Every structure is written in C-alpha cells, then in structure tokens.
Chain A
C-alpha cells in the first residue's frame, strides 16, 4: 500500500539526509525502522506525510504519488496517515477528549472546530478510541497532567480518530521508562492486529524490535542498508548498523 521509490532529501543547508531510499510496505504490516540518531529515520517518516518535502523520488500511497500534492489534496492524504511523536505533541491545557477530537479536524469545518461544536457521532467515536487505549474515565482530565505513557496513549487515540490507513510512529517510546514502553508498544500492536492499521515505527531498542516487528529496515547515514526479518539481525549486522563499538542494551 506504500511504495517508496528513489527517495532523496537534501536540506536547504546542503545536508543530504536521505540517499535513494527504496522499499514498500504491504497492507497490515508492522514495520520497524532502526538506525543511529541522525541516520534519517525521522526525516524519512516525515517525508511520507509531507511534514518535510522530499527533494526527489516518489512516494506512492495506495497508488497516489504524495510528493506532488498541494493544498486540500495534501490535507486529504495526511488525514489518512496518523502520526505519533516522541514528545507526544498533545495540545497543551486541553482535555483528553479535546485532544482526541482534534484528530478529526480535517473532516470538521473550520468554524465548527474553532467553536468546539462536535457532533454526537464524533464524540462517540472519540470515546471508543479512548476506550481502546484504556483511558476511559480520564476523558475530562487535562492531558498534560497525565503520565508520559498515558499521554502517548492519548496521542494514539488521536491518530486513530483520523481513521488512518497507516500509522507513523516516530520513536514513540524514546522518552518513556521500560515498563511504560512495553505498554505503549502493546497498544500499537493492538492497533495493528485488531484494527488492521499498517504501522511504521522508528525504534532504538533492538529487544523491542524483535518482539514487535514483522519486518525491519535499517538506515545508516541516510542509506537503506538492511531490509529483512527482525530475528535475522545478528551480531555482524548489529555492528554494521550501529558501528563497531556499539553494545546492545536490552529493555525488558
């Protein structure tokens, strides 16, 4: 459903972040992207929903090249791609339900959303997703008063509110403790298996990768150097991806 062809990204300052990336993601896959910080993982994810504009290449999303889209067509594609972030990026000072409802902005009119007029159907759906991420009873709480793991679950519910075909997760557990990391990964797994949403997730910990990924791609200095099964990443591959001096740290 997602096909990336010869993707290149050069930043205005001349930094070449991505070199000729090629891969495709079938419907329903849980794909994990690994690599060192600065290897281009975040840039690649942001090219998919055009938070960054690729310099050249094609990104085919259900057959549509997203790299050329503008205005409302671009917003339409973005609404079908959910995204969660390392720092959650929730709306500050707002309740859980207001945050989840904001996932539906592309389908709510501008004035309706500004005055906070949401239909019963929208509220019902928001409650359903709050339920799915296990936050029932907290919908009226202010989101920024929740714990890190709970905030990330609000972010997942917000992404689900978009009814996404694909979910991008940019290091979703990098600012969480190990126990909470597993809980958030479990919810992503649930979204992938029960709702059939394709997931592309950037991760740092190989132990999480082995546990949750169907398939792994690895980036190094903006080049795709590995594409395969998570369990096939042996000592040798590990050293290639992370450098000679790297030691694997596990998270349980």
Chain B
C-alpha cells in the first residue's frame, strides 16, 4: 500500500517536472527566435535593446504553449522523462517531441554563431592574413638570447606548482576523511560537518584558480606567492574531493576485520582503510602536480609569477620572437610533465 502511494506521488512529481521542462523549452524557443532570428538576422539590428519584459513575455508564451500542448505528442518534457508510452515498433527519435528537441539544438547553434560573432570574412581578409603571417614568422624564429631568463622563470613555475601541491597534500589527506560520506554520515554532527565541508569545497573549486590568483595578487602582492596560494587552494579542494571519493569506494571487509580484532577506531582506519587508498592517492597527487604546472604558466599571466608573467610582459611589448621562445619552453615543460606523470602513474598500478 505504502509503495503504491509513493509510486503515485512519484508520477506526480515527474509530471510537474515535465511541465516545467516544457515551459522552459517553449520560452527558450520564443525568446531566441525573437532576439536572434527576428531582431538580429531579419531586421539586422546591430545593438538590439534588452528589456526585462522580453524574457517575461517569453515565459508567458512558454506557459501558454506548455499548457496547450502538454498532453499532445509535442510535449518534450513528457517525452524525455519517458511519460509518453511508445509502441514497440515506435522510436522516440521520430516522434514530434523529438523534433522540438532538434529545433532547440539548431536554434542554440545559430545563436552561438551570432553571439561569438563568427565571421569568415575577417578570418580570410588580406589584412588579417598579413598579421597572422607576421606573428607566425616571429614565433618560429625564437630569440634564444633570453633562454636563460626564460629557463629561470620556468624553474620558478615548476617549484611554485610543486610547493602548492606539497602543502595541499596533508591538508587534503585529513579533509578527505572528513568529506567521506561513509565515514561521516553515521550521526547528525558528522553529517553537518560533512555537508558544510562539501559545500565550502564545491564553492572554492568552482572558482577558477585564475580568479583566485587575481584575488591573492591584490592580497599578498603580485608574484609567485600569490600564484602558489591560488594553486594550493584549488589543489586542496580538488584533492579532497578525489581522496574522499576514493575512501567512499573502499571495501568494507578489512574495516570489519579490524573492528572485530578490537582495534581502536584510529587503528581501524589506518589498517583497514589506508592500505586500500595509498596507490590511488599517489596517482591523483602526481596528476595534480602535473595539472598545477600547466595551470601555473597560465596563472603567471595575471601576475602569479613564473614563466607566465614573463610571457605577459613580452606579449605586451609585442616582442613576438621572445614570446616564441617562451611558448617553446612552456610546451617542453608541459610535455615533459605529462609524460613523466603518466609513466609514474602507470608504474604505480
């Protein structure tokens, strides 16, 4: 009986979801058609005006269209959630609601092209090609006289990435246990800490290291330290997530066995959990260092020190021969790190 009720409830929830999906889809179609197809392409309005009432009207239209067509085969929501029953010989891809889906994709493509201002005219203009030729010639004739300067900057970058990873490891190691669902969600206090930590980590991970570098360069000044802090913060968030996922997937057997010997909980974790996670941890950590080196070059662009900083300076002065050398250096570093980390990770398996 209970099951039946929950099933009915579930169906209602699905219907509501389908209706919301329908409304949004129709509103999107209306808004995009108006703004791009009509405003930009048909009347060629170069700077179309934006008013909040436009998306609002689109939403009204979406609601009306969804209400009108919800129980027909044109309902994308019901179709994609599997609420439209199909005969065995029918394919979902040829039903009307599928064509609504195709329309969405095509509209998004057209909009995308207009928003990113794709213009083959400029790509192949004689002036443009001239510029491309100039910069490529310079890039392929690197100025080797700044090799030493570039090398020192590159070393700075590698060490910056290394220290950022090294500092992140112990912190992420401890946080990894706290962020593991299977260890923490047994009691309400643990669950609260787990949820809070997960939220903080997700937020800090969703902010790009590039943005963190800008924040820290204001905080501690431009230079390698701000770049290191940015990488470190991002590494802690990423490693903690990967570590905790590894902990969540451990085999319960050894944990049970260690508990059964009467071991202290700390010993249970050390002997029952840690041996199962050491190798994946090492693998993740080395990969993280590899990523950090790559990111460190980019972070230099916003004042995080190292080779990226140098690249930015020469680029600002339009000294493309020097930029060419730095690009070669960066490529060599990234390629070497990539190769080394994959060899090490392969050996760890």
Contact = CB atoms under 8 A, between A and B. Distances in A.
Interface string A61-96: 000000000000011111111110101111111100
Contact of B256 (A51, A75, A93, A113): A51
Please classify how large the interface on chain B is, using the bins under 10, 10 to 19, 20 to 34, 35 or more.
20 to 34
B266 interface: yes
B260 interface: yes
A162 interface: yes
Of the listed residues A76, A105, A113, A162, the one surrounded by the most CB atoms of chain B closer than 10 A to its CB is A105
Interface in B258-310: 258-264, 266-267, 270-272, 275-276, 278-279
Interface string B246-260: 000000011011111
A55 interface: no
Contacts of B259: 51, 78
A49 interface: yes
B276 A89 contact: no
B257 A92 contact: no
Contact of A102 (B253, B256, B258, B276): B258
A93 B33 CA distance: 61
B254 A92 contact: yes
A87 B270 contact: no
A158 B261 contact: yes
B266 A89 contact: no
B258 A75 contact: no
Contacts of B271: 91, 102, 105, 113
B321 to A, nearest CB: 53
B261 A103 contact: yes
B261 to A, nearest CB: 5
Interface in B224-260: 253-254, 256-260
A192 to B, nearest CB: 19
B4 to A, nearest CB: 17
Contact of B276 (A78, A92, A159): A92
A179 interface: no
Q: How large is the interface on A (under 10, 10 to 19, 20 to 34, 35 or more residues)?
A: 20 to 34
Nearest to A106: B262
Interface in A154-200: 155, 158-159, 162, 168
A83 B264 contact: no
A90 B275 CA distance: 11
Nearest to B253: A89
Contacts of A114: 266-267, 270
Contacts of B276: 92
Nearest to A155: B257
Given A75-B264, A78-B262, A94-B275, A89 B270 contact: no
A89 B254 contact: yes
B271 to A, nearest CB: 5
A105 B262 CA distance: 7
Contacts of A103: 261
B262 A51 contact: no
Contact of B263 (A87, A106, A155): A106
A74 B257 CA distance: 15
Nearest to A49: B260
A37 to B, nearest CB: 18
A89 B272 CA distance: 9
A247 interface: no
B246 to A, nearest CB: 13
A236 B204 CA distance: 67
Contacts of B258: 91, 102, 105
A93 B278 contact: yes
A246 interface: no
14 contacts: A75-B264, A79-B261, A83-B260, A87-B253, A89-B257, A90-B257, A91-B258, A92-B254, A94-B275, A105-B258, A106-B262, A110-B266, A113-B267, A158-B257
Given A85-B256, A89-B254, 11 more contacts: A75-B262, A77-B262, A78-B262, A81-B260, A82-B261, A83-B260, A93-B275, A105-B263, A105-B267, A106-B261, A155-B257
